[in-house]
Structure 1
Amino acid sequence: MIKRFVLGIFVLLISGIAMAQQDGKPITVEELQKVMKEKTAGVNTISCDFIQDKHMEYLETIITSKGKLFFDTKNRLRWEYKEPFEYLITINNGQFSISTDGETNNYDIESNQMFSKISELIISSVNGTIFTDTNFDVKAFEGENQYVIYLEPNIAELKEVLKKIKMQIAKKDFSVDKVTMYEMDDNYTEISFINKKFNESFSNDIFTAK
């Protein structure tokens, strides 16, 4: 039950592939990895707003949530929903924390392989390194203004809830503009990252669940 719950959180956060010509020319993952490593070498922190649109097959309306994200190269993360409800996930110092309704649950990442993998997936989705994860089969394309990466899970735990991920990376700053998660039941979630700021100083307290 916990396993499916946490995998569900991952799909919620960051939840037929389009024709290649729509996304640009095919490139190798190694090419993209090299370029991104060079272009983002000086980035130590990222903060941004996000807008999450949940498209559900049985509903005519789109469920929209909004919030704020903070990340640094120490792999500390704060993912906070502000609207229409408050919900917080933090990853810091080997702990994965979930806060909602005034209650916080803490999980030790290192002693729990499942939380270790989920934490890794969430962080790599933010810093753009998820397309090098060996748990996914990856295809990459280069367009005029962006790179597009498709990831299909190749491990059973993720295949249960996730069909594929589409990531759109801006050429202007090599940050992730949008992540689209396609679930097995044809629902999908789009998360757009806006108002991005780089290399701002954060208080350590920002990565503490409270």
Structure 2
Amino acid sequence: MTELAGFTRRAAETRLPTRYGDFQAIGYADPTCAHEQVALVYGDITGRDPLTRVHSECLTGDVFGSTRCECGDQLSAAMRAIVAEGAGILIYLQGHEGRGIGLLAKLKAMRLQEDGLDTVDANVALGLPVDSRDYTVAAEILHDLGVPAIRLLSNNPRKLDSLRQHGICISEQVPLLVEPNDENLPYLKAKRERLDHYLPQLDNLS
């Protein structure tokens, strides 16, 4: 096991065959918050700026296939893109559910959205932060993997800024765009208009 510069430590490693391809799964433990994180590495990531997705945990979208967000579609698209690229990294971050507010609070916020609030105002109405995610552990994992720079699969400028503040060199932002549906269109519009996400596929939609 390897101790990182911060508190995160490498704790396990194994081959992980998936429907997209064979990844190397590297598990990390963060004793400061008891979360268990995983990085999926595909191919040889040395000597390049690997295509990288830092993906926030989303039980409703990633596991249950909820159409109220784009998270599950983004996760699948990212894994396909990494395999097509021939090499890359996917970091899956626990503790990021609902932009950091947790599963139960997220369900309450979703209920408020049914009453007309957007994803930002729903969090505020619950007395919770709009986005409390922290990317320190993601940066520590990337440092541990030894990549000098990455090409980040993300539409979120705040994620880029946070990773750069933690010493990660991002040579390119690669958009990760999915087709909207009737259920998630209001959510995506709020992310574009209020959280500055890059979502040009919404331009011609009412």
- Calculate the TM-score normalised by the size of structure 1: 0.28
The structure, 1 or 2, with the larger RCO (C-alpha pairs under 8 Å, 6+ apart) is 1
Structure number with higher strand proportion: 1
